[in-house]
Structure 1
Amino acid sequence: MVSVGPRFFALLVVSVFLFYLTVIHYENRLASLQSRLAYVERHMSSPPESFPRDETIVIYNRVPKTGSTTFMGIAYDLCVRHNYNVIHLNTSKNAHVMSFVDQVEFAKNITSWKSRLPALYHGHIAFIDFATLGLSQRPVYINLVRRPLDRLVSHYYFLRYGDDFRPHLVRNRAGNTETFDDCVKLKHSDCNPHLMWMQVPFFCGMMAFCWEPGSREALEHAKYNLAHHYLLVGTTERLEDFVALLEAIMPDMFAGAGRSMERVGKSHLRRTQKKKELPTGTKQIIRQSEVWQVENEFYEFVQEQFNFVKHKTMTSVGGKLTPLQRGYHYEKLRPK
């Protein structure tokens, strides 16, 4: 039997101890790696249904005679490619105001109809404030407005002659050949400035004061809603710029909208037939009305806001609007 000296024994004990520490060190590293791997698997390799779905809801409460048919042609052209739903809201007798019960039901329906999200809803209805209905999910609003007098004149002749979208459909003023100019001179009801009261109430909402022609309270509420609830509001006269901005702001829905507009046609799909240019005197008569003044103030407000958004979002390259380069970045991320 070989005798083991104290020195050798001490060396053996130290070696075993160091080996033990090495094993513990690598076990700890292995446990740490396994923990990190499990975290990555939980957060990066989960089944698809665990990822949040795109539940975007866009509402286009389209004002009549503002070029909305052209824009919706673009939306229908893009919805299949970008995998979202376009749904038309049809109200009884084309009412612009819904009962409170219908508002609540509509709001609950579109926020809980998960199989139809993301979605773009459109219809000739006034603004609905989802916050007042107690719902946490709120839609994105977009819209277009038009010069008030131009919109009224277009609607006047549309009721008499229709448009080239459905040229054979007989409108309810068919056969009445009175010009808008003559209507103003004779003070007939079809050209009453009160009929211009449409764009302000559409943005103001479904409260009673919103529909009082010329209401300054309605104007201020419409401005407030535009500033706080609408992603983008453009104008009929600058429809191409509106489409370009939407394409930059919401590419998930509107990428390719500019090319789609070229396919659909840059001119409106619905052109009112036999519109006649108004004499300066007739324009001056209309512009003296309080309704025109309030509606025009709102139109100018929209123009100012739209110009601001465009200036901060787009630049012109070769005569074509292009999104500006990203103006922010992240830094000093902690912990690393």
Structure 2
Amino acid sequence: MITRKKWQLVLITVSIIFLYLLLHNKKTAKTSTTIVIYNRIPKTGSTTFANAIAYDLYDVNNFHVLHLNMTKNRQIMSLPDQQFFIQNITRWSERLPAFYHGHVAFIDFQRFGVANPIYINLVREPLERLLSHYYFLRYGDNYRIGLKRSRSGNNETFDDCFARGGKDCDMKQMWVQIPYFCGHFHFCTEVGSKLALETAKRNVLEKYLLVGLTSRMRDMIGMLEVTVPEFFKGALSHFDGLDENRSHLRYTKKKIAPNDQTLSMIKRNEVYKMERELYDFIEELFDAVFKKATNGTSNANDLIKIGPQFHFEKIKPL
């Protein structure tokens, strides 16, 4: 016969074991310290990607999403701010694993003695991106309906603006994607800098896991699912299941294509040529990676079906 005292002892022992297991599971449930940074470029479909993928999947795949808001819409940080940002996010264990997104130029963690996180991004054909931004300032989009933009009421076409040499259509406004990949060096924001272009290319090659194209966002999402499943497991099927409004957020309400004369002049401009060179470089790189991953089919659905193309053997000792 078990006495009352023995029952109490058993209950206390079971409670201790239960508490230990509970605390142990909490401690080991989220051991990943992975950080993904999406330093999103304006008017490249970044709102769609951040909202329809990251914010929809964080709960399913158990990661944190944090928006980096840059003061006064700056895209660069001071050196002390870069150091503080790096130390902050890498030591903020309560917010790991983490997906950070924001309009900020590439930050090289290695300059501060810290391993770089996983960098990803999307790019858009430079003239398309500029036109979208130009008309967005005038007519807004389908995301925040009713909000008046800075050029609201100004119905001047891009052609007319370009003909008179207006500020909003100046080719300096096109110098955007190169600085985002170049980073925080002073020459990155110097319009027309050859060094900025070469630095941007090198960073895309060496510092980014993937840079995709706005026009091929679905392919980008499929690639991320199979390369960073910790964050993007189920992303492709989720994206395919979205209705048109959610799979294409921030669609500029009204855009007028430029005439042939404007196009001809822009395509001869050095800034356009350089931004287009970066875009073509990224397009070629992404296309090669995507074809290799799909065994040449270039079908995003095949990414999920194709298993590893390697195996281990001659394992010693057994």
1:109 aligned partner:
88
Moved more, 191-200 or 258-267: 258-267
Letter in 2 for 1:330: F
- Rounded to whole Å, the distance in 1 between the matches of 2:76 and 2:226 is 32
CA deviation map 1:23-50 (0-9, x unaligned) = xxxxxxxxxxxxxxxxxxxxxxx97747
Name which of 111, 118, 121 aligns with 1:143. Answer: 121
2:152 aligned partner:
174
SS in 1 for 2:195: helix
Q: 1:98 and 1:318, CA in 2 relative to 1: closer, same or farther beyond 3 A?
A: closer
1:1-336 equivalent positions in 2, closer than 5 A: 49=27, 53-73=31-51, 74-135=53-114, 137-265=115-243, 267-315=247-295, 320-323=300-303, 324-336=306-318
Equivalent pairs: percent with the same residue? 48
- Rounded to whole Å, the distance in 1 between the matches of 2:243 and 2:88 is 34
Letter in 1 for 2:274: V
- Rounded to whole Å, the distance in 1 between the matches of 2:275 and 2:91 is 36
Q: 1:84 and 1:180, CA in 2 relative to 1: closer, same or farther beyond 3 A?
A: same
1:277 to partner: Cα distance: 1.4
- Rounded to whole Å, the distance in 1 between the matches of 2:279 and 2:300 is 25
CA deviation map 1:72-125 (0-9, x unaligned) = 121110000000000000011111011111110000000000111000000000
1:51 to partner: Cα distance: 8.8
Letter in 1 for 2:316: R
Count of residue pairs brought into register by the alignment: 290
Letter in 2 for 1:269: L
User: Which TM-score applies when normalising by structure 1?
Assistant: 0.82
1:168 to partner: Cα distance: 0.6
- Rounded to whole Å, the distance in 2 between the matches of 1:57 and 1:168 is 36
1:201 to partner: Cα distance: 0.5
* Larger Cα-atom Rg: 1
- Rounded to whole Å, the distance in 1 between the matches of 2:136 and 2:221 is 25
Root-mean-square deviation (CA, aligned residues, Å) is 1.9
1:333 to partner: Cα distance: 1.2
- Rounded to whole Å, the distance in 2 between the matches of 1:209 and 1:223 is 14
Q: 1:330 and 1:209, CA in 2 relative to 1: closer, same or farther beyond 3 A?
A: same
1:261 to partner: Cα distance: 1.5
1:270 to partner: Cα distance: 0.8
- Rounded to whole Å, the distance in 2 between the matches of 1:199 and 1:47 is 44
User: Which TM-score applies when normalising by structure 2?
Assistant: 0.87
- Rounded to whole Å, the distance in 2 between the matches of 1:52 and 1:85 is 11
SS in 2 for 1:121: strand
CA contact (8 A) 2:219 2:300 kept: no
- Rounded to whole Å, the distance in 1 between the matches of 2:65 and 2:256 is 35
SS in 1 for 2:119: strand
1:315 to partner: Cα distance: 4.7
SS in 2 for 1:321: helix
